[in-house]
Amino acid sequence: MTLSYSDIATRRLDRIAALADGLFAIAMTIIVLEIRVPDPGPIRSEEELWTALLHLAPRIVTYLMSFLTLGIFWNAQQTQLNQFTRADWHLTWFQLAFLAAVALMPFSTAFLADFISFRIALLVYWANIFVLGAVLYVAWSHALRNSIVQGGPTSDAIKRRIIGAQALYAFGAALCLISTYWSIAFIVLVQLNFAIAARIPLLRRL
């Protein structure tokens, strides 16, 4: 039997997890670098310093929002990896595509911070989140079709989480028709929901 390169290419899940951990750590670090100390040159009083600090609010908000985003998707990817029995050529590249979207998060965060009142900036940020969720869904569906995932009720729970989260994020993005600030507030609430839902009985099923 003749094997192709894709048949013998590395498929170790631990190497995928290690790469993901490193890239998530880098992305989480880069987003905080967008919060820069105010230029001390023109600041001559406590009031001026306070004003300069307030001007950092958009960057602080987008940093916190993106840190939550990355934390949620890191946990989502790790949950999937723990359910896979092995990796294949396609699954490996799905994971790399997912990490490519993770690497874009510092850009979409900085873009939103600079243009926080513009709908396009909010939609670019949402598009980044959408791609993250879409690739996870495709990877999970591929694993199910090719029987490389553990059986049981986990399958439905993961699909329900991805679809439910993306629907909520899409609704949050749609709120930019009213105000980008409404969108940001709603997205943060969604993220907090997924961060603490395990402690709230009514939200555990999402």
User: pLDDT over 90 for what percent of the chain?
Assistant: 45
Chain Cα centroid distance, residue 1: 42
pLDDT at 139 over 70: yes
Give φ, ψ of 149 to 5 degrees.
-135, 150
Q: How many CB atoms lie within 10 A of CB 24?
A: 20
- pLDDT, one tens digit per residue, over 23-55 is 999 999 999 888 887 777 777 778 778 887 788
CB 9 within 8 A of CB 92: yes
Q: What is the pLDDT of residue 75?
A: 92
- pLDDT, one tens digit per residue, over 58-88 is 888 899 999 999 999 999 999 888 888 888 8
**Partners of 149 in the β-ladder:** 84
Q: Which of 127, 148, 157 is nearest to 85 (CA)?
A: 148
- Quote the pTM value: 0.85
